[in-house]
Amino acid sequence: MPEEPLPGPLVCSRILGDRTDESFVGRSVDVVSVSAADASKRRLRLLSDSGRDVAVDLPRGSFLRDGVVLVDDGQCIVAVSRTLEDAMLVTISSELDSVVRVAAALKIGHAFGSQHVPAEVVGDTLVVPITTSRDVARRTLEALELAGVEAHFEKRALALAQAPQEMAPLALVHSQLK
């Protein structure tokens, strides 16, 4: 008796919405984990938490932010969850003059930007993904010899809502530091 062929992957050719959208209420959720580095790739092959094979083939410029729905069969949705990744969280003292704070942010951005690290501004914190090691990131920051700057490391989901090219422009960073 011939074996039945294995089912092919679930194919996703567009983002259907967000898992919190009203149209997905009541559906079960099957999660695919996506790293910050993979979030802007338009073609991926993913395995969901339940073992479903998902082939992603999105239009150029698509971004797999946390919560987007890739597949909906009417009963279950396949949604993106961002993986926890190593990051350095940097804060610049609000006690410093705004010009000094902006200068510190620019120096930090320049130091890590030359390493092509897509840093984010989240509230009053600079979130710097660790692309080498914690020690290299710490030494890079310390070499700047900036007063009023503190950093710690943690695992967190990165680039949750936007593609790196859409992250806060410098004018916004400056306005947040005032």
pLDDT at 158: 85
- My answer on whether 16 and 70 are in the same domain is yes
- My answer on whether 112 and 31 are in the same domain is no
What element of type H or E holds 114?
none
Structure tokens of 89? 């969280």
DSSP state of 29: E
Domain of 31: which CATH number?
Answer: 2.60.260.20
Count of Cβ atoms closer than 10 Å to residue 115 Cβ: 13
**Alpha helices by DSSP H, 2-122:** 98-113
Closest CA to 141 of 103, 88, 81: 88
- My answer on whether 166 and 89 are in the same domain is yes
With respect to residue 34, please indicate whether it lies within any of the assigned structural domains: yes
- My answer on whether 50 and 63 are in the same domain is yes
Query: What residue numbers bound the domain in which 156 lies?
Result: 84-177
Domain boundary among 82, 108, 131: 82
Type of residue found at 23: S
With respect to residue 163, please indicate whether it lies within any of the assigned structural domains: yes
- My answer on whether 119 and 173 are in the same domain is yes
Closest CA to 31 of 57, 1, 66: 66
pLDDT at 5: 52
The residues pairing with 77 across neighbouring beta strands, listed in sequence order, are 29, 72
- My answer on whether 144 and 154 are in the same domain is yes
3-state secondary structure of 140: helix
- My answer on whether 130 and 73 are in the same domain is no
Q: Give me the tens of pLDDT residue by residue for the chain, a chain 178 residues long.
A: 555 555 789 999 999 999 999 999 999 999 999 998 899 899 999 999 999 999 999 999 899 999 999 999 999 999 999 999 999 999 999 999 999 999 999 999 889 887 777 788 888 899 999 988 999 999 999 999 999 999 999 999 887 665 544 444 433 444 444 4
The rounded distance, in Å, linking the Cα atoms of 40 and 33 is: 14
- My answer on whether 69 and 149 are in the same domain is no
- My answer on whether 25 and 100 are in the same domain is no
- My answer on whether 148 and 172 are in the same domain is yes
Domain boundary among 82, 108, 138: 82
- Strands 53-57 and 17-18 turn out to be unpaired
Domain boundary among 49, 82, 115: 82
With respect to residue 1, please indicate whether it lies within any of the assigned structural domains: no
Which residues have C-beta within 8 Å of that of residue 88, sequence separation ≥ 6? 127, 128, 130, 134, 137, 138, 141, 151, 152, 153
With respect to residue 2, please indicate whether it lies within any of the assigned structural domains: no
Structure tokens of 152? 């710690």
With 0-12 / 13-18 / 19 or more C-beta atoms within 10 angstroms meaning exposed / middle / buried, residue 157 is middle
What's the number of domains the chain is made of? Answer: 2
pLDDT at 176: 47
